[in-house]
Chain A
Amino acid sequence: MADNIVFCKGGGCTAKLGAGVLSRILSRLPKGPEDPHLLVGYDSRDDAAVYQISDDTAIVQTLDFFPPMVDDPYTFGQIAAANALSDIYAMGGQVKTALNIVCFPEKWDLNLLGEILKGGSEKVIEAGGVLVGGHSIADDSVKYGLSVMGVVHPDRILTNNHGRPGDLLILTKKLGVGILCTANRVGEASAEAMAEAVASMTTLNKYAAGIAADYEIHACTDVTGFGLLGHLREMLDGKLSARISWKQVPVIREAFRHADEFLLTAAGQRNRNFAGDSVLFREVPFSMEEILFDPQTSGGLLLAVRPDQGPALEAALRSSGLPAAIIGCLLEREAAEITVEP
């Protein structure tokens, strides 16, 4: 583009503020009187808030937006929407309504904005939801996302911190999309690997959640800005430990090469600073450590499933075409909060 539009400056979930900084601020906010209808609030650092409105219905609310991580506006719209919708699925909910959130430079070609919104609205429709409005701001860089409302039966909420010792951990998408987008920014990523990353990021977690609904899931979260280890640590909630077998973790292969070339994000390093102290790496190559800390945009679900049902759930997810894998298990609290081993 001759007119110097830099659409992608390194966005997606890599643009998130660090978890360390955030928890300091959030812990100091004044708290109003407790509302018994609030089933999941930000105290639990879960994926979305859940508020019960009747005996059999709770609403799930979430909001997610970020700067572009790919050059194509339509693709960006799809990814941003898939990422925002994912939080509803991570809570076990169904998508009902969505509102657009847009920041866009006034002087830019409005067709770009049209492409972003088209990508986003297609994903809302695929999710079975309705786009009901939005809000836009003139800003000096592009940002897009959705505020989404869904519903869930109060007995069917999937929180991120009710895993039990022995549960098997299943990840439903490959890791490495943050590193690949970063490599792509400096012209190092191959077209094939980028296509694989984009296909992964535009895939709704609706399908994985739909399959998982038939199994006994004790905890669920989606893997986004804090990387696999950061989100896993939230799942452990200071009460459990986990062991991860890194050779079982699904990864977009090319990410290993880029990690070894140090095409790393600031957010990945922030994730390492935040969660690194609680992780024991045993015979894990440097590149894999980086991939485990890599911020994921529109990443997969991380499920803690009843142990005897793990293999069947893995098989069902795989037969639907998802690159899901059992990557480890939850344990009673041991010395290392998270152990990563071969």
Chain B
Amino acid sequence: MKKTVNAMGDSCPIPVVKTKEAIRELSGQAGTVETLVDNEIAVQNLTKMAVQKGYGVTSEKLGENQFRVTMTIAGSETGSGDTQKPEGAGAETLPEEPACIPDARRKHTVVAISSSAMGSGSDELGTALMKAFLYALAQQDTLPSTILFYNGGARLTCEGASTLEDLKALEAQGVEIMTCGTCLNFYGLTEKLQVGTVTNMYAIAEKLTQADLVIRP
């Protein structure tokens, strides 16, 4: 089931309130809810909610002052028990909320991407290889729990990158996509982030030190 929420012109928290109402109307069935909003902060507040609730979430900029946030909600009756809920999530959970995304994530595998190109040699080739790597990664049976983007890697999560589609597919499967805020700022990309969340060096250090396996393509 798919629902669309028009929250254009609404200020926070109204977009969140309307989206929660639409999710409630799914009555426990699996579905997607698309919310249209007119500002970036509303996108961030909706994304924050989805991440806390364990929903899949992607967002895209449709035009000047027009954004679409798409949440994927797993139905409560679709089966297997393994629920994924991030730490610190709200104590009160509505009955329809336990997410049952088939969990293809391997615990604590982190992919760290520090450049927009894969390998050294030709940059042109390296860029094509990186795109191919992320495409192939999204097709794997076992996915990493987190992909970190820093330094030149930050370009891959921003407007205009050819890797966005695959990264959104990974995010929709529950893979955490995190881009270094300092790096976005350095490259003037702060407003251009298209997938995942902004992170900082403490979180990056924590992800890397707590990982069972770090993959550096």
Neighbour of B45 across the interface among A264, A280, A335, CB < 8 A: A264
Enumerate A251-269 residues with CB–CB distance to B below 8 Å.
Answer: 257, 260-266, 269
**Chain B contact residue count (CB 8 A cutoff):** 25
- What's the Cα separation between A334 and B203 when bound, in Å? 16
Residues of B within 8 A of A277 (CB): 181-182, 200
Please state if A285 and B88 are interface contacts (CB–CB under 8 Å).
yes
A261-288 with Cβ < 8 A to chain B: 261-266, 269-270, 273, 276-278, 280, 284-287
Q: Are A269 and B13 in contact (CB under 8 A)?
A: no
Contact status A269-B45, CB under 8 Å: yes
Residues of A within 8 A of B (CB-CB), count: 26
**Within the assembled complex, what's the spacing in Å between the Cα atoms of A277 and B179?**
12
Q: Give Cα distance in the complex from A270 to B39, angstroms.
A: 12
Closest to B14 in A: A186
Smallest Cβ-Cβ distance to A280: which chain B residue: B202
Stretch in B64-72, B89-97, B136-144 touching the partner: B89-97
Query: What is the CA–CA distance of A266 and B39 in the complex, to the nearest angstrom?
Result: 10
Interface membership of B44, Cβ < 8 A: yes
Pair B202/A287 contact, Cβ less than 8 Å: no
Closest partner residue, chain B, to A256 (CB atom): B91
B41 touches A287 (CB 8 A): no
CA distance A284 to B182 in the complex (A): 23
Is B128 engaged at the interface, CB distance under 8 Å to the other chain?
no
Q: For residue B106, which residues in chain A have a CB less than 8 angstroms away from its CB? A: none
- A182 to B17 CA separation, bound complex (whole angstroms): 11
- Provide the B13-57 mask, 1 if CB < 8 A to any CB of A, else 0: 110110010000000000000000001011011001100100000
Knowing A257-B92, A262-B49, A266-B39, the reply to whether A276 touches B200 (Cβ < 8 A) is yes
Indicate if the CB atoms of B41 and A266 lie closer than 8 Å: yes
Contact B89 A286 (CB under 8 A): yes
Q: How far is the CA of A182 from the CA of B11 in the complex (A)?
A: 11
A217 to B72, CA, bound (A): 52
A311 on the B face (CB < 8 A) = no
Which B residues lie within 8 Å of A264 (CB)?
12-13, 16, 45, 48
The answer to whether the Cβ of A336 comes within 8 Å of any Cβ in the partner chain is yes
Does A165 belong to the interface (CB within 8 Å)? no
Cβ of B104 to closest chain A Cβ, rounded Å: 25
* A262 contacts B202, C-beta separation under 8 Å: no
Do B88 and A262 touch across chains, with their CB atoms under 8 A apart? no
Docked complex Cα distance between A9 and B14 (Å): 11
Chain B residues positioned under 8 Å from A269 (CB to CB): 12, 41, 44-45, 48
Which positions in B face A, CB cutoff 8 Å?
A: 11-14, 16-17, 20, 39, 41-42, 44-45, 48-49, 52, 88-92, 181-182, 198, 200, 202
Q: A182-B13, A260-B91 are in contact. List 7 more A-B contacts (CB 8 A).
A: A262-B48, A265-B13, A266-B42, A269-B44, A270-B41, A286-B88, A289-B88
A-B contact pairs, 15 of them (CB 8 A): A260-B92, A262-B16, A262-B48, A264-B13, A264-B16, A264-B45, A265-B13, A266-B11, A266-B39, A266-B42, A277-B181, A277-B200, A286-B52, A286-B89, A287-B90
